Copies of this chain bind each other. A is one copy, B any other.
């Protein structure tokens, strides 16, 4: 970036918002409405656009620092739950092993809403405590599930933003598209595989350590991962409850994620079908009329894209209106198009403020 000014003497002035207005305004005329001179000629590849990309990324990161935060919440929740239930351990009846272990186990069985009933609160304070912990635990599990989903949505956006800025070739975009297409399905299979491993591990553990027969072990596994938790079969030994603490949490979240993934695949399939349907629809003069944003009687590529995106339901007039207002503010010379001179004038007024 050191040789920027050598390479692009004209743009160097235009891009620097601290440049005094009287130095740069005369240059404006040169750029005027130079329709025949594409901007590419003035902008070296270095400008394209790692700093801006990083900017967009950090914007989004600020909005979603989720997964780490959820893990911190989870640890805090389990710590608080263990302490509370340990303090009221004499108000909890049922099959007990070790004080602290039972508290953590009870906490996990409650937050995941498995609720076997092998340990149940047996006094007003412990019952109300269980009510508080089941609601907050449920919210936390939902947060964990939805933040994972958010993370995926954001990741998709990142991939796309990266695709937009780093390469302009259709070939590479097609590759990225392909990766995107398979990613959700791939994730679906990953989660499903993890779940199968957890089911097998749970069944094997219950059969060997808890001495259940194979059908009962499998039945208890199904009853647990679905959070059904009839409670006729549960983890009754200390070793079983240590295993249960990790296994119940991961397997219930895993099943939740599987449902999320299936929903995601489903949404994707329908979205694509809608895009196909819209693209297959004949373009009529009515469409041209609706698409003609600048009212010049013809529809440019960008106008056509916006119209079709609207039909696909991907964008709405609300989105467009706000951006149009900004466009009108930026179009200082009222030409109906933005050129470097408009940017320069806008920057001068930013600096002036």
**Is the Cβ of A60 less than 8 Å from the Cβ of B284?**
no
**Is the Cβ of A228 less than 8 Å from the Cβ of B134?**
yes
**Is the Cβ of B39 less than 8 Å from the Cβ of A229?**
no
Residues of B within 8 A of A130 (CB): 219, 222-223, 228, 230
Answer whether residue A190 sits at the interface, using C-beta atoms and an 8 A cutoff.
Answer: no
Answer whether residue A270 sits at the interface, using C-beta atoms and an 8 A cutoff.
Answer: yes
Minimum CB–CB distance for A15 against chain B, Å: 6
Of A19-27, A79-87, A97-105, A113-121, which binds chain B? A113-121
CB-CB nearest in chain B for A51: B286
Interface size on A, residues (CB 8 A): 136
| In-complex Cβ contact of A180 among B110, B173, B318 (8 A) | B318
**Is the Cβ of B15 less than 8 Å from the Cβ of A285?**
yes
| A309/B319 contact (C-beta < 8 A), A59-B278, A286-B43 known | yes
Answer whether residue A189 sits at the interface, using C-beta atoms and an 8 A cutoff.
Answer: no
| A315/B318 contact (C-beta < 8 A), A117-B232, A219-B128 known | no
Residues of B within 8 A of A216 (CB): 127
**Is the Cβ of B343 less than 8 Å from the Cβ of A223?**
no
Answer whether residue A36 sits at the interface, using C-beta atoms and an 8 A cutoff.
Answer: yes
The residues in A between 278 and 325 inclusive whose CB is less than 8 angstroms from any CB of B are: 278-279, 281-306, 308-324
Answer whether residue A2 sits at the interface, using C-beta atoms and an 8 A cutoff.
Answer: no
**Is the Cβ of B321 less than 8 Å from the Cβ of A170?**
yes
CB-CB nearest in chain B for A222: B131
Minimum CB–CB distance for A248 against chain B, Å: 13
Answer whether residue A250 sits at the interface, using C-beta atoms and an 8 A cutoff.
Answer: no
Answer whether residue A163 sits at the interface, using C-beta atoms and an 8 A cutoff.
Answer: yes
| A55/B281 contact (C-beta < 8 A), A164-B317, A319-B275, A324-B305 known | yes
- Cα A301 to Cα B347 with chains together (Å): 19
Which of A39, A177, A278, A326: most chain B CB closer than 10 A? A39
| A323/B39 contact (C-beta < 8 A), A263-B146, A270-B63 known | no
**Is the Cβ of A343 less than 8 Å from the Cβ of B288?**
yes
Residues of B within 8 A of A311 (CB): 56, 161
4 further A-B pairs in the complex, CB-CB below 8 A; given A38-B297, A288-B340, A301-B337: A115-B223, A156-B316, A300-B336, A308-B323
